[in-house]
Structure 1
Amino acid sequence: MNYKHLLFIALISLIACCTIMFLIWLWAKKIKNAGVVDVFWALNFPVITIITFFLSDGFETRKLIICGMFLIAELRLGLHLWQRVIGHLGEEEGRYQQLRKEWGKDAERNFAVFFQFQAISNVLLAIPFFIITANSSTEIHILEYIGIGIWLIAFFGEMIADNQLAAFKKDPNNKGKVCDTGLWYYSRHPNYFFEWLTWMAYFIFALATPWGILAIISPAIILYLLLKVTGVPNNEEQNLRSKPVAYKKYQETTSAFFPWGKKGR
């Protein structure tokens, strides 16, 4: 495995992602909507995919498999976020409105730094991808097949959860209510759980490659971000502000992350 070549690919990816995020920050500043960062965070991964596919020197079949998995998952997420955010550009999401209030006159400067950190996270999270595409072995390992199986469960699980929530929100009769049907009956954030499971699939896939254990950094970072930073905490705060009584009851009976049975039943 040529580590200098891997670093070169990572550097090119970082330059591309940072440039994209700088341009998106300029746009977000103009329209006063920082929520667009979520869309392009997801869409940066297809950019990394294309760069890595053409520059890496691993086994072609393995590259096609992992690139296909990565591209499909992140394009689906990016397009889902596009519909959610771009369709309402005039109204910034509550969590970004809250950050704007907290940061006050420093908001735009802080958002500029925040956007660049998102670009850096893109490259850090792509570590499994860099490692896998450098593997020159012509044999597809059993761990890679297991990774594909887990990825399929995660991909369809996240897509179903997103579609269930979108359908719930479209119904005007559900205004002020909490979505607690389908996968949302078992977890308050099934979409986040399956997003994390997707990265676990990449990690397991990477274990068939020398130094693949380093890929654990991706699901570890994703889990930390989802549980402690931008995922569950921000989402829960926003839901408690918009529907305090209903969401508090939902919190008391439903698992925050891992799908599980109802508490107290």
Structure 2
Amino acid sequence: MNPFAWDAFAQGLGWTAVTALAVMLATFAIALVLGVHRVVDVAWGAAFAAVAVVSLAVSAGEGDGARRLLVTALTVVWGLRLAVHIARRGRGHGEDPRYEAMLGRAPGNRNLYALRMIYLLQGGLVWLVSLPVQAAQYAPRPLSALAWAGAALWLVGLFFEAVGDAQLARFKADPAHRGRIMDQGLWRLTRHPNYFGDFCVWWGLFLIAGDGGWRAAAVSVVSPLVMSALLIKGSGKRLLERHMAGRPGWDAYAARTSSFFPWPPRRPR
């Protein structure tokens, strides 16, 4: 069995960094034409898919073939589904309130500030968070039970993301629900089924990479840790709940519904 190919992995890191940067710069150019920066949210998932494909291509001849195909396919499916969903959700809407608030505080040119604080930052995060996908391409061990457990966890994550997004879209499409808090389906079990889904997806991909050997696990464990921090304490759950606070019915919903991990609703005291 060949050892973990450190030199090839280091070269691959350079190619994937260029890929993430290229996707974000292209998206920035599109945003300037459209006049809104919310298109970067579409590029987030698409950039992960691009990094996975490029990582597979530049690592040809390295690692276990089954693991390479598995981790690439799972990342591409997740990334493209997310990109398509966000593109459909944002169609016909103006600027995202988060970006509008951020750019309203820009010291100087708004677009250059957006390039630094949104596009380049997200490009760097794509590269960092995708480390399990990249490391898995060079892991020499054949797939074992741990990798399939990771794939199962990925599937749970995709289910929570896709079903939660679809349930929320149907809820919002009904005029009778205008002004109400979504508390049905998966949203009865967690206030953030889509963020919980992301959490499972990236821990699942990490398990697939780590199944290939301790070296792959060591270089990629930062990915699920960073993603978990972003989802729970960073720009995910925390910011969304700050935005929702004060809306009619939110306090009651938050009191009975798990904040992140799915759990049956609490009974009112």
Task: Tell me if both proteins adopt one fold, taking TM over 0.5 as the criterion.
Answer: yes
- Residue identity matched to 1:218: S
Q: Is the 8 A contact 1:95 1:234 kept in 2?
A: no
Q: 1:84, 1:76 → 2: CA distance?
A: 12
Determine whether 1:150 maps to 2:153. Answer: yes
CA drift of 1:264 comes to 4.4
Tell me the secondary structure at the aligned position of residue 248 of structure 2.
helix
2:139 touches 2:216 (CA, 8 Å); kept in 1? no
Q: Which residue does the alignment assign to 1:245?
A: 248
Partner of 2:206: 203
Once the two structures are superposed, residues 16-65 of structure 1 have per-residue CA deviations (whole angstroms, 9 ceiling, x without a partner) of 21122122123323433221111101101111111111111222222111
Q: What residue is the counterpart of 2:74 in the other structure?
A: 69
CA contact (8 A) 2:12 2:58 kept: yes
Q: Corresponding residue for 1:109?
A: 112
- Paired residue secondary structure (2:139): coil
Q: Verify the 8 A CA contact 1:63 1:133 in the aligned structure 2.
A: yes
Aligned-residue identity in percent: 25
Who is 2:132 aligned against? 128
Say yes or no: does 1:257 pair with 2:260: yes
Kindly indicate whether the alpha-carbon contact (under 8 Å) linking 2:187 and 2:193 is maintained by their aligned counterparts in 1. yes
Tell me if 1:169 matches 2:172. yes
Q: Deviation per CA, 1:42-101, whole angstroms, max 9, x where unpaired?
A: 10111111111111122222211111111111111111111112x12x411222222223
Which residue of structure 2 aligns with residue 223 of structure 1? 228
CA RMSD, Structure 1 to Structure 2 (Å): 1.7
Tell me which residue corresponds to 1:99. Answer: 102
Asked whether the 8 Å contact 2:146–2:211 carries over to 1, the reply is: yes
What is the TM-score when the length of structure 1 is the normalising length?
A: 0.91
Count of residue pairs brought into register by the alignment: 260
Alpha-carbon distance between aligned partners in 2 of 1:61 and 1:264, rounded to the nearest angstrom: 47
Q: Which sections of structure 2, spanning at least 5 residues, go unmatched? A: none
Provide the C-alpha distance between the structure 2 equivalents of 1:33 and 1:152, rounded to a whole number of angstroms.
33
1:25 aligns with 2:28: yes
The structure that is helix-richer by fraction is: 1
Contact 1:95 1:235 (C-alpha < 8 Å) held by counterparts = no
Residue matched to 1:39: 42
Question: Which of these residues, 115, 122, 130, is aligned with residue 118 of structure 1?
Answer: 122
User: Against the structure 1 CA distance between its residues 246 and 29, is the aligned structure 2 distance closer, same or farther, given a 3 Å change threshold?
Assistant: farther
1:175-225 deviation per Cα after TM superposition (whole angstroms, max 9, x unaligned)? 111110000011111110011111010111122122133222111111111
Structure 1 segments unaligned to the other structure (5+ residues): none
Structure 1 residue 248: deviation in Å?
2.6
Structure 1 residues 175-184 or 210-219, which shifts more?
Answer: 210-219
Q: Deviations over 1:106-134 (max 9, x none)?
A: 53232111210111111111111111111
